[in-house]
Structure 1
Amino acid sequence: MLATLAVAVATAVVTIMQAFLLSSIIVKIFQERLTSVSPQLTTLAIVFGLRALLSYIGEQVSARIAVSIRAELRTQLTDRLLDDGANLTYKYGAAKISLLASRGISALDAYFGKFLPQIFIALLVPPMVGIVIFTQDKLAGIIVLTTVPLIPLFGALIGMYTAKATEKRWRSLGVLSSHFLDLVTGLLTLKTFGRSKQQEENLEKSGEAYRVETMKTLRLAFLSSLALEIIATLSVALIAVSVGLRLVNGSMDFRIGLLVIILAPDVYWPLRMVGAHFHSATDGIEASRTLFEILDEAHLPEGTTELTEIHEIAFRDVVVAYPGRAPIALPDFTFTRGDLIALTGPSGIGKSTAISLLLRFITPTTGTITINGIEITEYTLRSLRSRIAWIPQSPRFINATTRPPGRLKEGRRVKY
């Protein structure tokens, strides 16, 4: 961020130098010969090149910062999911986490790469240019001081509505993603029972809802850009009119008037760009809320006892409450080593929940689970899960040797 600050300060200085040189050259062209400004034209060309170079450096620095932050956040999210992925999937849903890990984190590029650097520029350039204008012409400085606060004020008011619209759009995208994932997962069953047509219509409705929310957000973005453009244009016009009237009646020096008119747009331009980049960064802002919420989730509590063998497993008064569903009360039971047990019952009765509780993918709302007479939370997660083998309802065999599944059992990461 220090590099971004340095580029912002340098940009402000070069902008002011450019205005002084340009106004001086134009005045000399009118009052003297063109050959008299040759050295200044060379200097102006260098300043133009320097400003373009600073713009390029600023973009490169911002892009590198954005890529670095994106990679770090993606690494943190991946590590968090590897540590407690099942619990987080139960809470947030697989589709939402997949959307966040792909499109959500990628959307942060606009936030860290464009919006935040532009904030630094908007905090430094307008005040520096405004001070120069005030020292050259107090009336123009007063106009700048009066009109500049209007841009962030209107931008904040419009931004509140835009943020709400973006939140609704992101929610619609989450619903669409979840619906699509469920549809793909159960496609064979839907085809078998002839229910695919109805789900196709439901998916189309979800897509249409997302389209409507997207168009609402775009409409607000265009209206806000128009409002900021009008305010900035009218402000520059006020300065130009005041300068023009005083030049006509001879109460103002031509060079100073020209300098003020050249500098005036550079006061408002960074603020307008903040508004423009804000709309492109709203997806990233919305995604970051969920991302940091997941990263700040408390880790599953675990003890320090190493589980070496399992002799007995007992469930007592265990109840699990899922969000938006009736609580599931599991019966009391005890498994001893060597037993062959079958958990049977209709869907939703708690069979998968019991396995998830035993693997500590989820935590019971009430009740206790003990292994060898010791509370399950007293064991380390790694030793607990290394002692339990689990095969899902639809097992899949990878196209590799038998070594990777063995490494998975040991709780180690696998490269295929």
Structure 2
Amino acid sequence: MKIILVSRDALLLGLLLAQLPAIAILLSRLLRGPGRYPPLLPKAPTPEQLGTVSIVVPTLNEAERLTPCLVGLSRQSYEVREILVVDSHSSDSTPALVKAAQQADPRFRLMNDDPLPSDWVGRPWALHHGFLSSAEKSDWVLGIDADTQPQPGLVASLLATALDEGYDLISLAPQFLLKYPGELLLHPALLMTLVYRFGPAGETENRPERVMANGQCFFCRRSQLVQIGGYTVARRSFCDDVTLVRAIAAQGGRVAFLDGANVLKVRMYEGAAETWREWGRSLDLKDAASPSQIWGDWLLLLAVQGLPIPIVLLLLSHVLGGTATLTTLAAFSLNLLLVLIRIGLNFAIAPSCDRTQSNSAWLFWLSPLADPIAVLRIFLSSIQTPKQWRGRNYGVRSGE
């Protein structure tokens, strides 16, 4: 029995020594939260902003979720010169929906991108095509995904913020529309992996290799895209948004990842299975990071997000039964603190998760229980290369 206790204490001591620096890193990021840039609010454009923005929407068989995006874009004001929908030869009614929108709003223009080159991923290829086809008189280009629901005043708010703060690029963290029980548990846990690694949205002090972005709403100064060659730097990336923003930041561009919950909603995936499969496989960000960063971040997640709840549950009986050693009590207390921090952060991200369309909204508050699964998903994504994305098969890409 004494040997077992010594062995357990040795394991727990090793765990504590690994967790303490990880906790210090986590707290250094979270404590910057109160000073972050405030959430964007809807704004109205000013006359000098007339026609300064071109919008590019890449589509491929998006008929089931495209309409709210088209409606939201049509409600943007005169700062939007054109809305280019770059369709990758959809086989559903996506083109018909865009043509119908064009009848009501002539700013919409439907086009097809060229056949996908072997060294490109579909999404950055469509965005690159739209950028090259957009009006040179537009000072800004907004790439926006088909699953988004832009709110009135979105583009004007982006434009005003960029001009007031001197940003060359802004991307937004949206408000996620959650419906089904599984995604109410899994989605917040996956979202938290980003908060733990990069801090909250609105944090603007990260180094170029640590900046975050969200390609669902990617607002960039045209001159920056021209300077970097459009989307070519991200042509082979399955996280093209982060790849591109880090390349622009590395060249001196001023970039920001801000809270856009008030101006942008998104319905990403239907249910836990699709959330696990589609979102989970790009959250490792391996196409935009070095191996040391990928695995360093994963070890951080394991220490502060994946292990705390299992450890608390495993040690609870020893603590309650009075058989806990000093090392056991220290490990239990430290991991209980991490669990409490995670529960507190659930309150912090609650405004970013719209649960009004769900009959099981209460499950959101149990999402910390899915943290070990979320950390496992990041690990699996880190050791795998996507072979299929948005209906396209990629196989093994050259150079890998």
TM-score normalised by the shorter chain: which range applies? under 0.3
Give TM-score, length-normalised by structure 2.
0.21
Give 1 or 2: higher strand fraction: 2
Q: Which has the higher contact order (CA 8 A, sep 6+)?
A: 2
Higher normalized helix content (fraction of residues) = 1
TM-score (norm 1): 0.20
